[in-house]
Amino acid sequence: MTTPRKALIIGCGIAGPVMALFLQQVGIEAEIYEAQPTGMDEAGAFLNLAPNGVNVLKALEIDHLLEADGFHSEGMDFFNGDGKQLAQLESSDEEQRFGSRNVMIKRGQLHQVLRNEAIRRNIPVHFGKKLTGIQLHGFQHVTARFEDGSEAEGNFLIGCDGIHSRTRQLIFPNAPQPTYTGMVDCGGFAQLPSGLSTSGAMQMIFGKKAFFGYIAKPDGEVYWFSNVAWPKEPKRNELNAISADEWRQRLLHNHSSDPAHLLEIIESTPGEIGKWPVYDMPSLPTWHKGLVCLIGDAAHATSPHSGQGASMALEDAAVLAQCLRDSLKVEHAFAKFENLRKERVEKIVRQARRTGNGKMVSNPVAVWFRDLVLPFFIKQGAKASEEVLSYKVEWEREVA
C-alpha cells in the first residue's frame, strides 16, 4: 500500500462521492465520472437514511452536513384504509441504541451535500461522462472510455452507477437484469392540510387500492409517497407520457376510499408528481472482475420498502475502502469485500420484496387477516431490524 494508486469512480449519486472520500483517507487518489450533464439535485423524492447509514457519514465526520436539510422521524404509525391504527414503532431512542438517529432528506439534497463535500476536499468530479467501454490491462491498470470520446486511466474502477449500472452491463453482459416488482412508486411535497396534526412519525396507511406514506417536517412541509400496483413493467417513457393531471386523478381515485387527508395532500402538491417503476436486483454470481468492482445499487439494489438502499451503499463504500487499505492486491480486496457484504445485503433485498408484496393486499379476507396479525409482525420486524441498524464499520482515520 506504499505505492500511490488511482481509482476511477463511475457515478456521482450517493455511493460515488462517499467512496472517494474514504479512499482519500487511506491515501488513494480518486476521480468521479458522472453520466448526467449536471448534478442530480432534483433527483427522486426523498429517502430515510437509517442510523447505520448515518454512522458511516459520522465515521467521515460529515454527518453534521445533513442538519441543514434533513430532519428526524420519531417512528412509524401504521393504519388501515379505514383510518384504524394497527401498530406503532418508536425511534426517538435510536441515538442511544445505535449511535445515530435516522435522517429524512430529499434525495437531491443528499446528492448535493455529498458531491459538494467531495469537491471541497479537492476530489475531481466530471459531468457528462457516459461510460461506453472498459478495458482491463492485466492487473496493472484499467481504461474507461466515455461517449464524448474521452478516456481515463486508473489502477482500478468502482461502479457506483445505480441499479441500471452501465459498469455492470459492460463487465457482466450475461448477468441477471434488475427485476421489476410489479409496483410503481410515486410522490412529492406538499403543505400539511389545515387542522391535521402530526406526531413527527412517518404515517403508513394500507389503503384500499394503494399504499400511502407521509411525514411532515417541523415547518409543515409534507414528504409523501404512494405505492401503486402496476402488474406489467412500464415500457421506456410510458410513465413520463402520463400527464401530471392524469396521474393526479389516478392517485385520487386509488385513495378515494381512504382517509380524506390523503386526498388533500395529493391535491395540494404543486407541479409534477414524480413516478418510478420499482426494481430490485437478483443475486449476482460475483460483484467484481479483475480491476473492476460494483457497489451499492449496481451490485445489490433493494426496493425502497426496506428504507436501507442508501445506507447499504454507504456501508459498502466504507468496507471496500477498508479492504483496499488492508490488502496488498486489489483483486484480493474486492474478493474480501464481497465476502464481507453479500450475505447481509442480499438478506435485506429479500426482506424488502416481502414487505412490498404485503402492501398490495386487496382481498377482504386477506385484509382482515393482515390487520389482525400486523401488530405481531411489526414487533417481530422491529427486533429483526436491531441487527441491521446496529451495524457499524469500525473506521480508523489514519492513513495506513
Task: Examine the pLDDT at 182 and tell me if it is beyond 80.
Answer: yes
Q: Which fold has domain 6-178+281-389?
A: FAD/NAD(P)-binding domain (3.50.50)
Asked if residue 316 lies in contact with residue 340, where contact means CB atoms within 8 angstroms, the answer is: no
202-257 residue pLDDT tens: 999 999 999 999 999 988 899 999 999 999 999 988 999 999 999 999 999 999 99
Q: How far apart are CA 214 and CA 212, in angstroms?
A: 7
Task: Examine the pLDDT at 399 and tell me if it is beyond 70.
Answer: no
78-130 residue pLDDT tens: 999 999 999 998 888 899 999 999 999 999 999 999 999 999 999 999 999 99
286-311 residue pLDDT tens: 999 999 999 999 999 888 888 899 99
Asked if residue 134 lies in contact with residue 170, where contact means CB atoms within 8 angstroms, the answer is: yes
Distances from the Cα of 92 to the Cαs of 54, 72, 75, 400, in angstroms?
15, 9, 7, 37
Question: Pairing state of beta strands 6-10 and 156-159?
Answer: parallel
128-148 residue pLDDT tens: 999 999 999 988 899 999 999
Of the chain, the end-to-end C-alpha distance in Å amounts to 8
Q: How far apart are CA 125 and CA 11, in angstroms?
A: 10
Q: Which fold has domain 179-279?
A: D-Amino Acid Oxidase; Chain A, domain 2 (3.30.9)
254-271 residue pLDDT tens: 999 999 999 999 999 998
Q: Which of 4, 15, 109 is nearest to 345 (CA)?
A: 15
CB atoms within 10 A of CB 129: 24
343-391 residue pLDDT tens: 999 999 888 888 877 777 778 888 888 888 888 888 877 777 888 888 8
Q: How far apart are CA 33 and CA 171, in angstroms?
A: 17
pLDDT tier, 1 (very low <50, low <70, confident <90, very high otherwise): very low
Q: How far apart are CA 76 and CA 91, in angstroms?
A: 8
Q: Which of 53, 47, 112 is nearest to 274 (CA)?
A: 47
Asked if residue 305 lies in contact with residue 359, where contact means CB atoms within 8 angstroms, the answer is: yes
Asked if residue 51 lies in contact with residue 98, where contact means CB atoms within 8 angstroms, the answer is: yes
CATH 3.30.9.30 positions along the chain are 179-279
pLDDT score at 397? 59
pLDDT score at 195? 78
Cell readout for 221 is 412541509
Going by C-beta distance under 8 Å and a sequence separation of 6 or more, which residues neighbour residue 230? Answer: 182, 183, 184, 277
pTM over 0.75: yes
pLDDT score at 363? 83
As a whole number, mean pLDDT of residues 55-72 equals 94
pLDDT score at 375? 82
Task: Examine the pLDDT at 4 and tell me if it is beyond 70.
Answer: no
Q: Which of 49, 63, 180, 181 is nearest to 105 (CA)?
A: 49
- Quick one: how far is CA 128 from the chain centroid? 22
- HSE value, Cβ hemisphere, 13 Å, CA-based, for 317: 36
As a whole number, mean pLDDT of residues 55-84 equals 94
Whole-number percent of the chain with pLDDT over 70? 98
Task: Examine the pLDDT at 3 and tell me if it is beyond 70.
Answer: no
CATH 3.50.50.60 positions along the chain are 6-178+281-389
